[in-house]
Structure 1
Amino acid sequence: MPYCPNGRFVHIPPPYPDSNWDNDFGRPWWRDDAYLVGILSQKTRLIKIINTLTSQDQVIEVCSEEIMTEIQDRYMKYNAHAGSYTCKFEGKNLDMSKTLQENGIDDEDEEFYQLSMNDDTYLQPIHLYFNDDLTEA
């Protein structure tokens, strides 16, 4: 049963059987592609981005489907010059057109769950190294 704390609205059935409720309206409005806002992620995860130039770090929740350029765009609110940095994990350059998993950064949340640990105890760090090229504004 849908939770409607402010009362029912269009296409929501009554909380009890009602012969007066007409349910032959076809597709409900919330399943209409015209109102699609986004796609639900299969899984989100936390990552730590460390700026090696300033030693600042940010923890960001990202979708498992996001590629590195999308993560970099989201990091721009913390560092507007993030495009002038090279992203590395364990000393290897990351392919910005691939996801974290495709870059070899495994999601370890399931292991933490099996070990009864908090999943934010250890976050895989992505290091940003400044390129010093001054081409990105």
Structure 2
Amino acid sequence: MLRPKYFTRKEVSLHNTLGDIWVSYLGKVYNLTPLVEENKGDVLLKPIIECAGKDISHWFDPKTKDILRHVDPLTGCIKYYTPRGRFIHVPPPCPRTDWANDFWRPWWKDNCYEVGLLSAKTRWIRIINTLISQEKRLEVCSEETLDEILQRYLHYNAHAASYTWKHNGVNLDMSKTLGENNIPEEDELYCGSIDCNLFSSSICLYFNDDLTEF
């Protein structure tokens, strides 16, 4: 099975326009752009559009994975709790004949919108290309393997796979995470330091010279 892709909160936050709407909730990341496109012009999209790029876990009951509910003080009935206003697939408070309920399942229960997982904790690392003395600081997901981090770094170095990745002179296992490779986090290295945010673990890249002498 393929590993799920992890995203940082910053990556999710970049998808915050009408034509590109992502949200996260209960540890997962969803692309709701198709939902918005299918219901274009519907006033019930407003709460979703307002929260584009944000985490909306507070909309949900973590036990049931459903929208939070409350007892209506006027009717005594149990209803969905939507303080930002009713949104797509949430039934109206009272019976109505004009509410379209012919959708397959509510969007928050439809995994077709799921694109990955939200990282529980991110880390900053410095990747140093020893061949050209170039350094790049990256925010990565603590759950990612070095191979997955390499995919991020390809944006800055298309030949990243042609290098040997090392930390403190030791070859890294690219199938393992930073933690599994015993690479300490910055708060472990500089705990209590006023400059702790300025430091991060470094990974050195050594180019693999495949030229053969004749």
Alignment CA distance shift 1:111-1:56 (3 Å): closer
Distance 2:170 2:152 in 1: 22
Following superposition of structure 1 onto structure 2, how do residues 44-83 of structure 1 map, counting pairs within 5 Å?
A: 44-83=122-161
Q: CA RMSD in A?
A: 3.1
Q: Which residue of 2 aligns with 1:123?
A: 200
Identify, as 1 or 2, the structure richer in strand.
Answer: 2
Alignment CA distance shift 1:8-1:133 (3 Å): farther
Give the 3-state SS of the residue equivalent to 1:120 in structure 2.
helix
Kindly tell me the number of residue pairs found equivalent between the two proteins: 126
Question: Contact 2:186–2:197 at 8 Å: present in 1 too?
Answer: no
Give the 3-state SS of the residue equivalent to 2:123 in structure 1.
strand
Question: Contact 1:51–1:57 at 8 Å: present in 2 too?
Answer: yes
Q: Which residue of 2 aligns with 1:20?
A: 94
Distance 2:122 2:170 in 1: 23
Question: Contact 2:186–2:201 at 8 Å: present in 1 too?
Answer: no
TM-score, length-normalised on structure 2?
0.50
TM-score, length-normalised on structure 1?
0.75
Post-superposition shift, 1:108?
Answer: 3.4
Q: Which residue of 1 aligns with 2:181?
A: 103
* Structure 1 letter corresponding to 2:128: I
Gaps of 5+ in 1: none
Identify, as 1 or 2, the structure richer in helix.
Answer: 2
| Equivalent position to 1:10, from 72, 83, 88 | 88
What is the aligned-residue identity percentage? Answer: 56
Alignment CA distance shift 1:52-1:11 (3 Å): same
Q: Which has the higher contact order (CA 8 A, sep 6+)?
A: 1
Q: Which residue of 1 aligns with 2:66?
A: none
The structure that has the greater radius of gyration is 2
Distance 1:118 1:12 in 2: 48
Alignment CA distance shift 1:76-1:89 (3 Å): same
Q: What are the superposed Cα offsets for residues 13-63 of structure 1, whole Å, 9 maximum, x if unpaired?
A: 8xxxx84279xx9x6412321211111111111111000011111111110
Give the 3-state SS of the residue equivalent to 1:38 in structure 2.
strand
Alignment CA distance shift 1:62-1:76 (3 Å): same
Question: Contact 2:127–2:135 at 8 Å: present in 1 too?
Answer: yes
Gaps of 5+ in 2: 1-45, 52-84, 97-102
Q: What are the superposed Cα offsets for residues 91-129 of structure 1, whole Å, 9 maximum, x if unpaired?
A: 1000000000000012233775x6264553111000001
